[in-house]
Structure 1
Amino acid sequence: MKIRIENSKKKTSLLCGFVLENSTKVLGLGKIDAKTASIIDQSIKDMEGKLGKLNIIPLSEKNSIQRILLAGLGKKEDLTRDTIRAVSGKIAQKARELKLKEFSIIAPPSFVTDTISSVSQIVEGSKMALYKFDNFKSEKSEESPDLTIIVSKSNKIVKAIKNAEIIANSAIFTKGLANLPPNECTPNTLANFAKIISKNNKLKCKVISEPELKKRGFGGISAVGQGSKNRPKLIVLEYNNGPRNEKPIVLVGKAVTFDTGGISLKPGDKMDEMKFDKCGGCTVIGIMKAVSELKLPTNVIGIVPSVENMPGGESYRPGDIIKLYSGKTAEILNTDAEGRLILADALSYGEKFYSPKAIIDFATLTGACIVALGTNVAGMVSNNEKLTKKIYDASSRTTEEVWELPLNQDYIDMIKSEVADMKNVGIGRSAGTITAAAFLRNSIENTPWVHLDIAGVAWTQTSTKEKSYNPKGATGFGVRLILDYLQNL
C-alpha cells in the first residue's frame, strides 16, 4: 500500500468520509454538487452514523469520483483513540473487496479529534487491516489498494504518516513472525530473522548458542531447551542512539517456538495454538525493528530467550533442581511452567550486563491471566509506580489495554521451596499469574520493572473483541504500546 496526501480529491474510485451519529454532514467533505449532496443526505439518514456501519453511494460514470463511502463513527462523546483506526480498517477491507487499485479517506477536522492522531489512526488501521497470513497458501491475497488521505499538508502531517507507516509495518512484521508454524520457526530461525533486521536497520545483533549458554550459567534456558533437537538461543539486539552514558531500556520477550508442556504434557486440544508461545519474543524483535527505523534518540536493548519445549530422553523433569543465571536455584514441579525459567535468565542477564534504567518483559505466560482478565486486556505486574504510570499512559493512547495486578510478600512466599530457593509454580491454581510474576521478580534486583502477561491478547481467541486491524491470528500486541512509551520518554 502506497500512501499519499492531497488537500482535496478531484478523482478517485472511492471517496470515504466519516459520519458522526445524529449528524447530517460528512466530516470534512466540503463543497459538492446539489444532486450528489441530496443522495448523501438520504444515505446519512439511513445509516444514522452508527459505529462501523458502511454505506456506499455509486455515482454516475461521468463523475470523477466513482463512489462515495460513508463510514459511521458513532457518538462524538464515545470516540476513543481507537475508533478511527478500527473504522479505517473496515474501509480498507471494503476497498480491497471491491478490487479497487486506490481509495481516499477524508481526515476528520480537528474539532472531532486532533488531526495528527486521526491521520496516524487512518494509516495504522488501513495497513494492519489488509494484512493476511497467506505464506503457505497457493492462492495469495489480492493486492492492497493505495490510500490517499485528504488533509491539509504540513511537515507534521508528513512526519506523522511516516511514523505511523513504520509502526504499522512493524506490527505486521511481528504478526508475520508469530503466525509462522513451528516447523518453519525454530529458535535458530528466529535468531536468523533478528540478524536480518539488524543488517537492514543498523542494529547490533548477537546470538548466544547452547554451549555458551551452559558455560555462562543460563540454567533456565538450557534446561527448558535440552529436550528438543532444535537447540536454544539467546538473541540480543542493541540500539544505541541516545547519549553515550545514558542507561538503556531493556525489553525481554519469551519466545517458546512451540510448547508441548514437556514431560508435563499439555492436553491435545488447541495445542496447535502453542506456536503463539513465541509472541513475546516476536514483539521485542518487532519493536527493535521500529525503534531503529524511527531513529529514536534513546538506547534500547532487546533480549529474546528462545527455546522449543519438547518431551524426550534429554528433557528436564518434574523434581529437577536447576541453577538460574542469577545464581538462585529453582525446583521444577511442572515443566509446562517453562516461560518463567527462560525469562528469569534473560532478566538477570539484562540487568547485570546493561544496568538499565527500566526493564519491560512480554510473555504468553499463564492461562490464569485469561481466567482473570479475559482476552482483551493484558495483565501487568510491576515493582515501580512511575514506570507503571507511563505504561498506563501509553496504553490509553494506543488502546492496547493493560491492568495491574498486585505483588506483595504473600505472593512471593507462595513460590518458596523447601529444597531450593524457589519453585516454578505456586500453591495450586491460586493467583497463577501473580505467582509466575513473583518468580520473575526474584530475578530483578533494584531496576524498575514491568511484566506484561499477554497470554490472552497475543492472538485472536474465541472471546477476543473483533477489530478490523486484528485479523485472525497473532495480534502483535505490545508493539504500538511500547513504541508510544519510548517516543514519550
Structure 2
Amino acid sequence: MKFSMVSGDVLKLECGALVVGIPAGGLTPTAEALDKASEGAVSRWIEAGDIHPCVGKVAVFRDFPGCKAERVVFVGLGKCKARDFQRVLKLGIDIGKEVVLTTLEWLPDEVPEWIAEQSGFIACTALDRPKNYKTFDINWKKPKHINLYVPDENKDIEKAYAEGVSVGMGVQMAKQYGDMPANLCTPKFMAEECMKLAGSLGLDVTVFDEKAMEKLGMGCLLGVAKGSHQKPRMVVIEYHGGKKEDAPVALVGKGLTFDSGGISLKPAKGMDEMKYDMCGAAAMIAAIATAAAMKLPVNIVAAVGFTENMPGSSATKPGDILKSYAGKTVEVLNTDAEGRLVLCDVLAYTIDKFKPKCVVDAATLTGACVVALGNDIAGLFSNDEELAMSLMMAGDTAMDPVWRMPLDISFTKALKSNFADLANISDSRGAGACTAAAFLEEFVGDTPWAHLDIAGVANKSGKEKGSTGRPVPLLINFLKDQAE
C-alpha cells in the first residue's frame, strides 16, 4: 500500500472510497459539503436512520450525488473520544483501489498532528492479517493507496502522517515475528533476520553464539537453553543517530522462541501460544529498526536474548544453581520462571558494555500481570520516576497504555534463598509480577531502568489469535521524546 496526502475540493477527489465521519449532534465540514451538494440528502438519511451517528455504525453509498468518489463511507462517531478513534477508523477503511480519509475533522479537541499520526498508524495496520501457511487461501484485497485529506497542504501534518505509517510498519514487523511458528522462528533464524537489518538500515549488529556467551559468563541464559537442541543467540543491534558522545538508550527484550516451561512443564492447553514468548524481543528489534527508518537523532542499542525452554535430558532442573553474568548466583526453584534468567544476563551485559543513559526491557514475563491488569494494559515497573513518567506519557499518546506497578524491598526479600544469592521465584504465590520485576532490579544497579511486563497485551487468543505488535507504538513515542 501507498500512503500520501491529498488536498483541494474534497467533492472533486476521484477515489475508490471517501471516508466521512458523522458525529452526534452535527456534521463535519466534509459531511456538510456532501449535504449541500446532494441537496440535503445526508441530513434526510440521518433522520431516516440510513446514516447513523452511533459509534461503529457504517453506511456505504455508491455514486453519491455531487461527489466524484466511487463510494462514500459514512462512519458513526458518536461523541468520539481519542480512545474510540482506532475502532471507528478501522471500521471505515473500505476495500478499494484508493481510499481518502477525512479524519482530521473527527476529533476537534485533539491536536491535528496527533490525529494525522494515528491515522497513518491505523491505516497501515487496520487491514493487516497474520501470515498463514494454508495451501489454499482466499485472496485478501487491500487498498492500493490510502490518502489523508487536508484542505490545504501542511508539512507538519504530512510528517506526522508519515511517522504514523512508519510506526505501523514497525508493528507489522513485530507481529510477523511473533506469529511465526517456533519450528521456523528459531534463535538462529532471528539472529539472521537481525543481520539482514544491518544491510538494509545501516545498523551495527553483533551475534553471540553459545560459546561466546560461555566466555562472557552468561550462566543464567545458558541454563535456560540447556534442554533444547536449538542453540541460543544473543543479538546486539546499535543505531548511531545521535551525537557520538551521547550515551545510548538501551532496549532489552526477552526472546523465548518457544517456552514449554522446561522441567516445570506447562499445561498442554494453550501451550501453542508460547511461541509468543519472544514478543518482547520482536518489539525491541522492530523499535530500533523503525527509529532508524525515521532517522531519529538518538543513539540506541537493542539487546535481545533468544532461546527455547525445553525439558530435555540436559535441561536445568528445579534446585539447580546458576551463575549470572553479574556474578550473582540464582537458585532455580521453577524452570518456567525462565524469562527473568534470560533478561538478567542481557540487562547486566548491556549496562556493563554500553553504559546507557537508561534501559527499558519488555517481556511476556508473568501470568500474574495478566491477572492484575488484563489484556489491554501492560505493567510498568521502574526504579526511576522520570523514566516511568516518560513511558506512561508515551503510552498514553500512542494509545498503547501502561500502568505503574509497585517495587518494594518486600518483593526482593521474598526471593531469599538458603543456597544462592537469589531464588528465581518467591516462596509465596502472591505478587508474582512484582517479585519478577524485583528479581530484574537486582541486576541493573543505579542505571535508570524500566520493565514492561507485556504478557497480557503482546498477543490475542481465541478467534482473534495473533500478535499485537505492542509495545512498539509506546517505544517509538518514547524514543522520539528522548531525541528532543
TM-score, normalization: structure 1? 0.93
For residues 436 and 37 of structure 1, the distance between their equivalents in structure 2, rounded to whole angstroms, comes to 64
Q: How does 1:388-399 map to 2 (within 5 A)?
A: 388-399=388-399
CA contact under 8 A between 1:29 and 1:106: conserved in structure 2?
no
Partner in structure 2 of residue 488 of structure 1: 481
Once the two structures are TM-superposed, the CA of residue 86 in structure 1 deviates from its matched residue by: 2.8
Q: How does 1:296-315 map to 2 (within 5 A)?
A: 296-315=296-315
Moved over 6 A (4+): none
Q: Residue 466 of structure 2 is aligned with which of 473, 481, 486?
A: 473
Partner in structure 1 of residue 84 of structure 2: 83
Question: Which residue identity is paired with 2:472?
Answer: V
Once the two structures are TM-superposed, the CA of residue 147 in structure 1 deviates from its matched residue by: 1.2
CA contact under 8 A between 1:394 and 1:482: conserved in structure 2?
yes
Gaps of 5+ in 1: 465-470
Q: How does 1:269-288 map to 2 (within 5 A)?
A: 269-288=269-288
Partner in structure 2 of residue 373 of structure 1: 373
More displaced 10-residue stretch of structure 1: 207-216 or 66-75: 66-75
For residues 306 and 372 of structure 2, the distance between their equivalents in structure 1, rounded to whole angstroms, comes to 27
Computed over aligned residues only, the root mean square deviation of the Cα atoms, in angstroms, reads 1.8
Gaps of 5+ in 2: none
Deviations 1:360-419 (A, max 9, x none): 000000001111111111111110111001011111111211111111111110001110
Once the two structures are TM-superposed, the CA of residue 67 in structure 1 deviates from its matched residue by: 2.0
Is 1:53 matched up with 2:57? yes
Q: Residue 136 of structure 1 is aligned with which of 118, 133, 136?
A: 133
Q: Secondary structure at the match of 1:236?
A: strand
Question: Which residue identity is paired with 2:469?
Answer: G
For residues 382 and 458 of structure 1, the distance between their equivalents in structure 2, rounded to whole angstroms, comes to 20
Partner in structure 2 of residue 428 of structure 1: 428
Is 1:178 matched up with 2:178? yes
Once the two structures are TM-superposed, the CA of residue 63 in structure 1 deviates from its matched residue by: 5.7
Partner in structure 2 of residue 467 of structure 1: none
Q: 1:373 to 1:301 in 2, by over 3 A?
A: same
Q: 1:243 to 1:139 in 2, by over 3 A?
A: same
Partner in structure 2 of residue 118 of structure 1: 115
| Count of residue correspondences | 473
Q: 1:252 to 1:60 in 2, by over 3 A?
A: closer
For residues 79 and 355 of structure 2, the distance between their equivalents in structure 1, rounded to whole angstroms, comes to 48
Partner in structure 2 of residue 105 of structure 1: 101
Once the two structures are TM-superposed, the CA of residue 269 in structure 1 deviates from its matched residue by: 0.4
Q: How does 1:258-337 map to 2 (within 5 A)?
A: 258-337=258-337
For residues 343 and 39 of structure 1, the distance between their equivalents in structure 2, rounded to whole angstroms, comes to 61
Is 1:36 matched up with 2:33? no
CA contact under 8 A between 1:17 and 1:27: conserved in structure 2?
no
Once the two structures are TM-superposed, the CA of residue 85 in structure 1 deviates from its matched residue by: 3.0
Q: Secondary structure at the match of 1:399?
A: coil
Q: Secondary structure at the match of 1:31?
A: helix
For residues 367 and 133 of structure 2, the distance between their equivalents in structure 1, rounded to whole angstroms, comes to 29
Q: 1:60 to 1:245 in 2, by over 3 A?
A: closer
Question: Which residue identity is paired with 2:123?
Answer: S
Once the two structures are TM-superposed, the CA of residue 111 in structure 1 deviates from its matched residue by: 3.4
Deviations 1:38-57 (A, max 9, x none): 22113334254222221112
CA contact under 8 A between 1:239 and 1:300: conserved in structure 2?
yes
Q: Secondary structure at the match of 2:40?
A: helix
Q: Percent identity?
A: 34
Q: How does 1:410-421 map to 2 (within 5 A)?
A: 410-421=410-421
Is 1:70 matched up with 2:74? yes
Q: 1:348 to 1:427 in 2, by over 3 A?
A: same
CA contact under 8 A between 2:16 and 2:69: conserved in structure 1?
yes
CA contact under 8 A between 2:414 and 2:428: conserved in structure 1?
no
Deviations 1:435-470 (A, max 9, x none): 1111101111100110000000000136x9xxxxxx
Q: 1:193 to 1:257 in 2, by over 3 A?
A: same
